Amino acid sequence: MGVFIFQKTLMMNKLFSVLFFLIHVWILTRGDAEVSCQLGQSCILPCSFTPGDDPAIHWIQLTLIKAKVHSYHDNKDHWVHQDQRFRGRTSLFKDQISKGNASLQLTGVMVQDEGRYQCFTSTITHKNTSLLTIRIECEAEVYCQFGQSCILPCSFTPGDDLVIHWMYWKPTQAEVHYYYLNKDHLEHQHQRFRGRTSLFQDQFSKGNASLQLTGVMVQDEGGYNCLARTIADKGGRCFTMKVYAPPQKINMKQTENQIICSSDGIYPEPDLSWSISPPSSRTFQNTTRVQETEELLYNISSSLTLSDGEDDLDYICTISTPSNQRRASWRRGPSVKIISGEATISCSASDSSLKGFSLVWSFNQNQMIVTKKEDDEQRVSEEWKQHVKDVSESGRLTLQHLSADHEGTYTCEVSKDEETNITQVSLSPAEESNNPHVTIIIVLTVIGISAVVIALVFFCRRRRRNAQRKAAEVSSVASNTEIILNRISEEAPADYGAVRNDQEQQAETTL
C-alpha cells in the first residue's frame, strides 16, 4: 500500500513537471504584442494595469537568465538589482502610473535589447503579467561577394573618446571587431573573423567607422551591428549582410543524346531553366541536380535529352539567382569536310564581327585550340600552332596540314557579358568526289573517252561516205555494163543474171 502511494506521488510529480513545462512553453511562445525599435533610438514598451493603491511595477527581460530591467515600488525606482546593460537607459512615466500606465521608455536601443519582456504589475487588489517582444529594425541590407573583400558601412559624428564595436548578432552573437582607447582590442574576437577585419583609422576623423572584411564566406551572412560612440554621439547601425556568388561560367557539352548544362560555386541556390529556339511546342525530357559544396555554395547541373534530326535548334540554358542571371546556348552547326588538308569552320550563322566578344575554339570538348579575348588578344595553343592558319573577325577558323587525327568535334564559344553561345561542328574526311585530284582524273578520263568516241564516229562516217561513193561508182559502171549486157542479153539472157549478181556482191563487200 505504501509503495503504491509512493508510486502515485511520483507519477503526480512527473505530471506536474510536464504541466509546468507546458505552461512555461506556452508563456514563452504565445503570440505577444510586438514592438519595433530602431537601433540607437528610444523606444516605448507599452504596459497598463487596473489602477489601485500601492502600485508595484517590475520589467524583466526573458533571456536565458532573466535580467531585471526596471523595478518600481513604494513610490520610487529601485536600481540595486538592475542589470547593468540597462543602466541609465530606462524610465517610467511617473505622472501616468496612477492612471494605470506602466509603460517603459528605453533609450539607446542596442541589438542585445531584442527579445521578450515581461511587465509584472500589482496593487493591493490586482496582480497582472503581460508579455511583449522587441524587434530591432534592421531593414538595411548590404551585399558582399563571396571570396572578395567587402566594406560594411558605418558612420558617426566625429568626437573624442571613440569606441567602435562591431557585432555579429544574428542568428547567433559573435564579436567582430572592438576598438577603444585608440587601439584594436581583438582578444574576444570570434575565431571566424580572426585576421579578416580592419577599420580605416585614418578615416575616424571624418566619422567613418566602416569595417573591411576580407575573404567573404557564406557563414558571414547575417545581422551586423556597428556601435560607434563618442562623447557627442551614441549612434549605431545595423543591417543584414547577404552574400552572393553569381554563376561565373556555364559549361555546356554534348554526351551521346544529351546536352549537359552546368555551373559551379553559386550562392544563393540557383534556378536552372531550358528553352528552345525557335520555340517548339514539344517538351524535352530534362533533369536538374543541385549539390552543396563544402563552402556552402551550390553546384548545379542539368541534362536535356535531344531529339533526333532537329539540327537547327538552339538549346538555351539559363541559370539564375535573385540578383544575377547567366545564359548559354548550344547548337550543332553544319558539318565540315577536310579538303586537301584544309578546313574552314564557321562560329555562327551570321558573318558579323565579334569585336568586343571573347572567343574560344576547342577540339573534342577538351583541347583548347585558340582563345581571343574581348580586347582582341589572340592565343593559339602550342599543339595547334602549325594548324591554325587564320581566325577571322567573325570567328571563322581556318585550319591547315590536317590529317585523320583531326577529325572530330570542334566547339566555338562566344561570350559577352552574361551570355555564351556555343556552336559544335563535326569535321570529317573529304568524300572522293570532292578531292580535286580525283576530279581532274575523272574530267581527263571523260575528255579522253569522249575524244575516242568522237574520233570513232568521225572515222565510221568517213568510211561510210567512201563506201557510198564506191557503190555509186560501181552502180554507174553497172548501168554502163547493163546497157552492154542488155545488148548481149538479147543473145544470151541466162548469163546476164550471173554477172549482175557478181557485181552487186562486189559492191556489198566493199561496204
Ligand X SMILES: *[C@@H]1O[C@H](CO)[C@@H](O)[C@H](O)[C@H]1NC(C)=O
Residue 377 CA to residue 383 CA, distance in Å, equals: 19
At closest approach, how far in Å is the CB of 87 from ligand X?
Answer: 22
Closer by beta carbon to ligand X, 90 or else 415: 415
One-letter identity of residue 471: A
Per-residue exposure over 36-49, b if at least 16 CB sit within 10 Å of its own CB, e if not: ebebbeebebebeb
Please tell me the distance from the alpha carbon of residue 231 to that of residue 251, in angstroms, as a whole number: 57
For residue 344, CA distances in Å to 160, 241, 393 come to 73, 52, 13
How many Cβ atoms from other residues are within 10 Å of residue 277's Cβ? 12
Among 357, 361, 363, 410, which residue sits at the site for ligand X (rule: CB under 6 A)?
357
- Pick one of 7, 13, 42, 96: the residue that binds ligand X (CB under 6 A): 96
Please say whether the beta carbons of 100 and 51 come within 8 A: yes
Q: Which is nearer to ligand X, 152 or 399 (CB)?
A: 152
Residues in region 178-197 near ligand X by CB under 6 A: none
Pattern 315-354, ligand X, x by CB under 6 A: --------------x-------------------------
Site string for ligand X, 130-169 (x = CB under 6 A): x--------------------x-x-x--------------
**Residues constituting the chain:** 511
Rg (CA), the chain: 50
Per rule CB under 6 A, is residue 200 in the interface with ligand X? yes
**Binding test (CB under 6 A) with ligand X, winner from 41, 203, 434, 476:** 203
Q: Is 126 in the site for ligand X (CB under 6 A)?
A: yes
* Nearest distance in Å: CB 273, ligand X: 8
Instruction: Please identify, among the stretches 46-54, 77-85, 139-147, 448-456, the one whose residues bind ligand X according to the rule CB under 6 A.
Output: 46-54
Q: Which helix (H) or strand (E) holds 13?
A: helix 2-29
Number of H helices, E strands in the chain: 4, 34
d(CA 147, CA 339): 49
Decide if residue 49 touches ligand X (CB under 6 A): yes
Minimum separation from the CB atom of position 446 to ligand X (A): 45
Choose one: 40-48, 176-184, 439-447, 490-498; the region binding ligand X (CB under 6 A). Answer: 40-48
Q: In degrees, to the nearest 5, what angle opens at C-alpha 243 toward C-alphas 238 and 247?
A: 160
Beta carbon of residue 174, minimum distance to ligand X (angstroms, whole number): 23
Q: How many residues bind ligand X (CB under 6 A)?
A: 36
Instruction: State how far the Cα of 227 lies from the Cα of 175, in Å rounded to an integer.
Output: 12
Euclidean distance between the first and the last CA atom of the chain, given in angstroms as a whole number: 151
**Does 254 contact ligand X by CB under 6 A?**
no
By CB under 6 A, tell whether 103 contacts ligand X. yes
* Distance, CA of 293 to CA of 274 (rounded, Å): 24
Residues 284 and 307 sit within 8 Å (Cβ to Cβ): yes
Q: Which of 276, 317, 360, 370 binds ligand X (CB under 6 A)?
A: 276
424-463: contacts with ligand X (CB under 6 A) = none
When asked if residue 418 is in the footprint of ligand X (CB under 6 A), the reply is: no
Q: What are the φ/ψ torsions at residue 176 (nearest 5 degrees)?
A: -100, -50
Tell me which of 71, 189, 208, 230 binds ligand X, using CB under 6 A. Answer: 208
Q: Which stretch binds ligand X (CB under 6 A): 174-182, 202-210, 370-378, 426-434?
A: 202-210
Q: Which is nearer to ligand X, 115 or 207 (CB)?
A: 207
Among candidate residues 305, 345, 300, the one with its CA nearest the CA of residue 321: 300
Q: Which is nearer to ligand X, 33 or 443 (CB)?
A: 33
Coil, helix or strand for 402? coil
**CB of residue 338 vs ligand X: minimum separation in angstroms?**
27
Among 191, 255, 281, 283, the residue binding ligand X under the rule CB under 6 A is 283
Q: Given candidates 112, 122, 251, 284, which one binds ligand X under the rule CB under 6 A?
A: 284
CB 266 within 8 A of CB 245: yes
Taking the least distance from each CB to ligand X, the nearer of 153 and 215 is: 153
**Amino acid identity for residue 451 in this structure:** A
Contact between 48 and ligand X per CB under 6 A: yes
Among 45, 67, 343, 414, binds ligand X (CB under 6 A): 414
**Of 177-185, 188-196, 271-279, 485-493, which segment contacts ligand X by CB under 6 A?**
271-279
The answer to whether 131 touches 228, Cβ cutoff 8 Å, is: no
The answer for residues whose C-beta is within 8 angstroms of residue 297's C-beta and 6 or more apart is 146, 218, 245, 264, 265, 266, 267
Closest by alpha carbon to 91, among 76, 106, 102?
106
CB 298 within 8 A of CB 338: no
Q: Which residues lie near ligand X (CB under 6 A)?
A: 44, 46, 48-50, 93, 96, 101, 103, 126, 128, 130, 151, 153, 155, 200, 203, 208, 210, 264, 274-276, 283-284, 286, 291, 293, 299, 329, 357, 414-416, 419, 421
